[in-house]
Amino acid sequence: MSETKITLPESAIPAGWYNIAADMPNRPQPVLHPGTGEPVGPDDLAPLFPLDLILQEVSEEAEVAIPDAVRDVYRLWRPTPLYRAHRLERELGTRSRIFYKYEGVSPAGSHKPNTAVAQAYYVNEAGRTRISTETGAGQWGSALALAAQLFGLECKVYMVKVSYEQKPYRRSMMETWGASVVASPSQDTNSGRAILESSPDSPGSLGIAISEAVEDAAQREDTAYSLGSVLNHVLLHQTVIGQEALAQLEVAGAFPDLVAGCVGGGSNFAGLAFPFLREKIAGRELEVLACEPAACPTLTRGPFAYDFGDTGQLTPLVPMHTLGHDFVPPGIHAGGLRYHGVAPLISQLVLDGLVRAEAYGQKDVFASAVRFARAEGIIPAPEAAHAVHGVVEAAARADAEGRERTILFNLSGHGHFDLGAYDAYLRGDLEDFALPEDEIERALKAIEPLPKPAGVSS
């Protein structure tokens, strides 16, 4: 039997992040100011983000050097292992070879620290001493809390109130790493106070928490705002995943026919897929698959349009596949995939046919996740379980067609804080949330694509 996992020494941590914008056949459209309809410039973003991150957001260089201090933190868990899924292959009885990159070995349990660490570094370099963000169930907030602690920054997390009350463990994790966590809506911001005044019992929402975190950062010179997905620089920081995987597959003497990842905002998918898409753009044969929930089918059902990034219409207008900024997906357990839009870079790649998307129901996803856990040991996060299911399906298709494929996917995190979801599945209590067509139609009608700005090619 060949190796089960391929590990690399710390010297193999990539020296740079890969910026796919440099190689895309069509660059994504610019983000627009909702008032003027003009592209958003560095000055618009400066109150929220340090200049280095703004420059990364618009960079056209293929490689952005990773600062030594960031690579030093990456050493705490990187390079992450690449597994050959021998036991899953046997369980499936497939002729295909299946590999997965496992990002759950980070202290926060997911890929999120890859960008949290980079962002905390640049915020500190820019002389700010504090960082604010929002979090739903806490996956992103805990990654940022860890990163802020390692760079000596204060960290303020606005956590959606219903999660704050019902899922205290991620909150405890953030506080253990020194973050200050408050239930959103809170008394700490104008937007929070306004909502509490009209609805004292508001359970909160990611949209409200974003408003609070942005307001916090905008009003304090010592504070930067931090986002865990969607933006170009966030996806950029995740590309260490795919670069390591390329090197590890080379050790195994393999190159994939299929690369898959789950997509919410898009950062873990991009992190694995972009370095492989570079090869595909250069002419190499490769299928790239984005796995999303049927309850929030942004890429498979949403049109490509200019839309707000948040429910509250506070953000710039973003060119992306979207189900409409007022679309509220059902409460599936993969909370990280419940986003009405998706990263502009990924949207453009789907539009250009370089990435294909599929959507799956929650029950099928958990069935594959349990199958995976019983074969490989690791219990996948519900988000990552979408990629697992996509691969199970792809292997079955290949077997039916008599093909032997080499499949790679991103197991972006573990499910230690999602065992309640597994419990619901095993007891038969899991809902599938088949989305009514009329609800999608209604959401789609609400999107009014804005005219493109002058001088922007399509």
Q: How many residues bind a second copy (CB under 8 A)?
A: 42
Min dist CB 329 to a second copy, Å, is 24
Residue of 67, 125, 129, 149 interacting with a second copy (CB under 8 A): 149
CA neighbours closer than 13 Å in the CB half-sphere of residue 294: 15
Under rule CB under 8 A, residue 36 binds a second copy? no
User: Which amino acid type is present at position 366?
Assistant: F
Residue of 150, 183, 288, 291 interacting with a second copy (CB under 8 A): 150
- Rounded distance, CA 395 to CA 397, Å? 5
Taking contact as CB under 8 A, which single stretch among the options 70-78, 182-190, 320-328, 353-361 is the one that binds a second copy?
70-78
Helix axes 168-176, 139-150, angle to 10 degrees: 10
Under rule CB under 8 A, residue 193 binds a second copy? no
Min dist CB 76 to a second copy, Å, is 5
Under rule CB under 8 A, residue 166 binds a second copy? no
Q: Which two tokens stand for residue 310?
A: 């948040």
Min dist CB 377 to a second copy, Å, is 3
- Rounded distance, CA 106 to CA 114, Å? 9
| Helix or strand run (H / E) with residue 57 | helix 51-58
Under rule CB under 8 A, residue 4 binds a second copy? yes
**Residue 360 Rama label (left phi>0; alpha psi -120 to 50; beta):** beta
Under rule CB under 8 A, residue 90 binds a second copy? no
Under rule CB under 8 A, residue 3 binds a second copy? yes
Min dist CB 369 to a second copy, Å, is 9
Residues 6+ apart with CB under 8 A from 265: 228, 229, 230, 234, 336, 339, 341, 342, 343
CB closer to a second copy, 5 vs 397: 5
CB closer to a second copy, 131 vs 317: 131
- Rounded distance, CA 171 to CA 178, Å? 11
Q: Which residues within the stretch 373-392 sit at the binding site for a second copy (CB under 8 A)?
A: 373-374, 376-379
Min dist CB 97 to a second copy, Å, is 16
Whether 42 contacts 54, CB under 8 Å: yes
- Dmax (CA) for the chain in angstroms is 64
CB closer to a second copy, 182 vs 379: 379
Bridging pattern class, strands 258-262 and 406-411: parallel
C-alpha distances (whole Å) from 34 to each of 219, 226, 244, 324, 443 are: 21, 21, 39, 15, 20
Min dist CB 179 to a second copy, Å, is 11
- Rounded distance, CA 385 to CA 366, Å? 7
Under rule CB under 8 A, residue 15 binds a second copy? no
Under rule CB under 8 A, residue 439 binds a second copy? no
Taking contact as CB under 8 A, which single stretch among the options 3-11, 28-36, 121-129, 397-405 is the one that binds a second copy?
3-11
Under rule CB under 8 A, residue 397 binds a second copy? no
Q: Which two tokens stand for residue 139?
A: 């996956």
Under rule CB under 8 A, residue 107 binds a second copy? yes
Q: Which residues within the stretch 309-348 sit at the binding site for a second copy (CB under 8 A)?
A: none
Interface ranges with a second copy (CB under 8 A) = 1, 3-5, 7, 9-10, 72, 75-77, 87, 105-107, 109, 146, 149-150, 168-169, 171-173, 175-178, 370, 373-374, 376-379, 416-417, 419-420, 422-423, 426
